[in-house]
């Protein structure tokens, strides 16, 4: 068996995180939008990597606070960012479901266009904090085992 992996893509889902108001990142929340524009223009690190392997970067807006008007952007907006998880739920169950479904829809759209290999990525200042919280919730591991400096 010889797999055909000529058409490859990375789906990068973008969203802003309300927890950035707590100073969890050295960058301001507004930088997410700038990073998304840079990625759309081919200037992000992921663009360099994908060029080396002949893959395309598909940017999906799931919830950047200030929308980006660009025809290259796949828009599946759930909300203009999330709430602050240090103060309460970041999203409603419905919003979480819509965000996951938005990513699935973006993947299905690429598969229908003939993409044979997909990878996923994320973009959003403060994204390590909710990612770590989700990992703690899923695994039950102590917070200090999951989270450290950096």
For 84-123, write each residue's pLDDT tens digit. 999 999 999 999 999 999 999 999 999 999 999 999 999 9
- Does residue 96 form part of some domain? yes
Confidence of residue 150 (pLDDT cuts 50, 70, 90): low
Q: Which two tokens stand for residue 3?
A: 């797999």
Number of structural domains the chain divides into: 1
**Domain that includes residue 65, residue range:** 8-125
Q: Residue 145: in which H helix or E strand, if any?
A: helix 143-146
Mean pLDDT in the chain? Answer: 94
Confidence of residue 54 (pLDDT cuts 50, 70, 90): very high
Q: Which 3-state string (H, E, C) describes 32-61?
A: HHHHHHHHHCCCCHHHHHHHHHCEEEEEEE
- Does residue 119 form part of some domain? yes
| pLDDT(16) > 90 | yes
| pLDDT(2) > 90 | no
Mean pLDDT, rounded, for 116-131: 94
Q: How far is CA 102 from CA 53, 60, 76, 144, 148, in A?
A: 26, 8, 5, 32, 31
What's the pLDDT at 9? 98
Whichever domain contains 12, its CATH number is 3.40.50.10210
Report pTM.
Answer: 0.89
């Amino acid at each position: 068996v010889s797999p055909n992996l000529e058409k490859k893509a990375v789906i990068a889902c973008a969203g802003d995180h309300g927890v950035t108001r707590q100073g969890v990142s050295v960058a301001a929340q507004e930088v997410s939008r700038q990073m998304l524009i840079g990625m759309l223009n081919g200037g992000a690190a992921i663009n360099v990597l994908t060029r080396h392997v002949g893959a395309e970067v598909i940017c999906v807006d799931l919830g950047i606070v200030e929308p980006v008007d660009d025809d290259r952007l796949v828009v599946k907006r759930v909300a203009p960012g999330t709430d602050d998880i240090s103060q309460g739920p970041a999203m409603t169950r419905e919003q979480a479901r819509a965000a996951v479904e938005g990513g699935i829809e973006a993947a299905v759209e690429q598969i229908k266009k003939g993409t044979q290999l997909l990878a996923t990525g994320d973009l959003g200042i403060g994204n390590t904090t909710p990612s770590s919280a989700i990992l703690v919730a899923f695994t039950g591991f102590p917070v200090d085992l999951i989270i450290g400096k950096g």
